[in-house]
Amino acid sequence: MLQSQLFCKTKKETPREAISISHKYLVRADFIEQTISGVYRFLPLGFRVLKRVEGIIREEMQNLGAQELYLPALQDKSLWLETNRWETIDPPLFKLKDRHQKETALGSTHEEEITDIIRQRINSYQDLPVCLYQIQNKFRNEMRATGGLLRMREFLMKDLYSFHGNGKDLINFYQKVKKTYFKIFKRCNLKTLCVEASSGTIGGELSHEFMVLSDKGEDKILICNKCLWAANVEKTGEIKKCPKCKGVLERRNAIEVGHIFNLGTKYSEKMSANFRDKEGKTKPIIMGCYGIGLPRLVATIAEVHHDEKGIIWPKDVSPFNIHLIKIENSLKINKLTEKIYQDLQRAGVDELRLSSLFANARVVDELRLSSPFANARVIEVLYDDRKEKSAGEKFADADLIGIPIRIVISERTLKRDSVEIKERNKKETKLVKIARLSHFIRNW
């Protein structure tokens, strides 16, 4: 993509309301923009990151064997009355009346909807287990929505629901989801801790949160310095000693990036979602639900990966793979940079495009293997071709936007038939011969 065509206006000023690093940089780099409290527009660069995170999550959900569906945000009041959550859920629902005075709500979660779908379709133990997920907007009527994308009132969320005939089957699946979650966060270059958590008004018997340690986190967790047992303070209260090994507990702030629940029969009993077991006995279906808020995940990545100049995106979630920058405007430089720009893009398979065409990760893998670039990396290039910007302005924008590799072409590098390469997370630069460039990039 040519940067002269990119819809992005970086800013020098920090937004006044920004209290977190991620908020400050995401606004300054023109990834996002707040409209009203807790509601954000995603501009093209921000939307690219969101889509890449979504791609990782979708791939891992497919690997787990979950099927994707889509449920509406606008939900019928009657379903919420069945579970008695119309008035009690916290934070409260955004409620609406249509022109016929019929009451609806914008969904903050979808247990009622999904249980309604299941009870109409599951009859026997032979129909179980089932796991379904969606990536869809949620609405939460938060008292306080600050911290940019860390706490929002409308946000994209992946919610997965599983349905089982017995508790053991649910526990097995719950453990599998835990592994999948660790993998998703690792692909986003985040170190997470899985902690025992309070289930709130989603409810159920047991829940775990995935936490990223950060001073900006709103959650307080306790970690045992001996056995590494960890829990949210909401769950345990202010205890001093580890309940597992009596070790000393350390108190830390953390950002919750995922939450998984063993719901047991909380919803199936209230909504009569039953099945017949092997002996023909009618029993309530056992449920689990598993959520990841996508914008918060994006913000957490920026919260962890940045320096004093801007964001440092991990490779797998960066809006582009390479930032190509030309410094002078001679005919020779223009021609050569254009050629390098074309060559770099051809050197890779465009994973983003493949993933969006084929929801199934296996299809993407097969295509990749059958392509002439079987071993090539995915390469999307942002080419700073802007004529009116100085070298200093281009570098400042590049650091702020945070693409992991920067390639610079100037008269100085050309004298040595080279380009200058700098990784965003390193201080030093290196010269690489132009003839070796594609090779260098593929092996990076």
> Which positions touch Zn ion (CB under 5 A)?
224, 226-227, 229, 242, 244-245, 247
Q: Which is nearer to Zn ion, 97 or 244 (CB)?
A: 244
> What's the rounded Cα separation, in Å, for the pair 188 and 181?
11
> What's the rounded Cα separation, in Å, for the pair 408 and 323?
8
Cβ at position 195, least distance to Zn ion in Å? 13
One-letter identity of residue 355: S
Q: Which is nearer to Zn ion, 226 or 332 (CB)?
A: 226
Cβ at position 229, least distance to Zn ion in Å? 4
Angle between helices 294-304 and 21-28 (to 10 degrees): 100
Angle between helices 44-64 and 167-187 (to 10 degrees): 140
**Residues 277, 282, 283, 287, CA torsion sign:** positive
Q: Which is nearer to Zn ion, 90 or 250 (CB)?
A: 250
Cβ at position 178, least distance to Zn ion in Å? 19
Cβ at position 99, least distance to Zn ion in Å? 58
Cβ at position 227, least distance to Zn ion in Å? 3
> What's the rounded Cα separation, in Å, for the pair 202 and 159?
13
**CA gyration radius, the chain:** 25
Cβ at position 98, least distance to Zn ion in Å? 53
Half-sphere exposure of 249 (CA within 13 A, CB side): 22
3-state secondary structure of 411: helix
Cβ at position 441, least distance to Zn ion in Å? 46
- The order of strands in the sheet holding 405-409 is 381-384, 322-326, 405-409, 418-423, 429-433
Termini Cα distance of the chain: 21
Which tokens belong to 258?
């995922």
DSSP state of 174: H
Q: Which is nearer to Zn ion, 242 or 401 (CB)?
A: 242
Q: Which is nearer to Zn ion, 117 or 213 (CB)?
A: 213
Q: Which is nearer to Zn ion, 41 or 220 (CB)?
A: 220
DSSP string, 186-221: HHTT---EEEE---TTT--SEEEEEEEE-TT-SEEE
- CB distance 379 to 320 below 8 Å: no
Q: Which is nearer to Zn ion, 244 or 332 (CB)?
A: 244
Q: Which is nearer to Zn ion, 12 or 240 (CB)?
A: 240
> What's the rounded Cα separation, in Å, for the pair 115 and 106?
17
Give the residue from 266, 116, 287 showing the smallest Cα distance to 201. Answer: 266
Cβ at position 410, least distance to Zn ion in Å? 56
Cβ at position 234, least distance to Zn ion in Å? 19
Q: Which is nearer to Zn ion, 81 or 227 (CB)?
A: 227
